[in-house]
Amino acid sequence: MKPQQQSHALAYCGAARDILTIIGAKWSVLVVSLLEERAKRFSELKREIGDVTQKSLTTVLRELEKDGIIERVVTPIVPPRVDYSLTPLGRSLLVPIKSLRIWAMENHPAIVQSRSRYAEKEAA
């Protein structure tokens, strides 16, 4: 979106989209949520998430690091040790994430139901 085409009511749009790009990334909310408990290693995150590829996990961790949401600490030993933890900024992100999670829990059934209604409607 070109800024000059936005209406006054949409001034927040750039920032909002930017944030949505972050938390909309496939594994970011899960990673942030897992790091709420404590700092964790790469392999630990991978194990806990289950079916995420190294590449995808690396990508999302790097992105969150760039954005200042997590911190990456490398201990140069062999085998290498890398710890990830939430920054204060990352910790503050837990607030809107929680709000979203609550909405998700409450309304997910309704969405699933709506989808199946739509599916059988278009099957007819």
Alpha carbon separation from 110 to 5, 74, 81, 100 (Å, rounded): 35, 44, 44, 15
Strand partners for 74:
82
- Which listed range, 38-46, 53-61, 75-83, 109-117, lies at the site for a second copy (CB under 8 A)? 109-117
Please pick, from the candidates 77, 78, 111, 124, the single residue that binds a second copy as defined by CB under 8 A.
Answer: 111
Closest distance to a second copy from the beta carbon of 13 (Å): 6
Give the contact letters, 74-93, x = binds to DNA (CB under 7 A), - = no. Answer: ----xxxxx-----------
Cα distance between residue 86 and residue 71, in whole Å: 6
Is residue 30 within the footprint of DNA (CB under 7 A)?
Answer: no
Tell me phi and psi for residue 71, to 5 degrees.
-115, 140
Which phi-psi region, left, alpha or beta, contains residue 27 (left: φ > 0; alpha: ψ -120 to 50)?
alpha
Residue of 45, 60, 61, 93 interacting with a second copy (CB under 8 A): 93
Decide: is 26 part of the binding site for DNA (CB under 7 A).
yes
Alpha helix locations (H) across 1-124?
A: 13-24, 28-37, 42-49, 54-66, 88-123
Note whether 75 binds a second copy by CB under 8 A: no
Taking CB within 5 to 8 Å according to partner kind, which of DNA, a second copy, none is near residue 56? DNA
Chain residues that interact with DNA, rule: CB under 7 A: 25-27, 41-44, 51-56, 58-59, 61, 72, 78-82
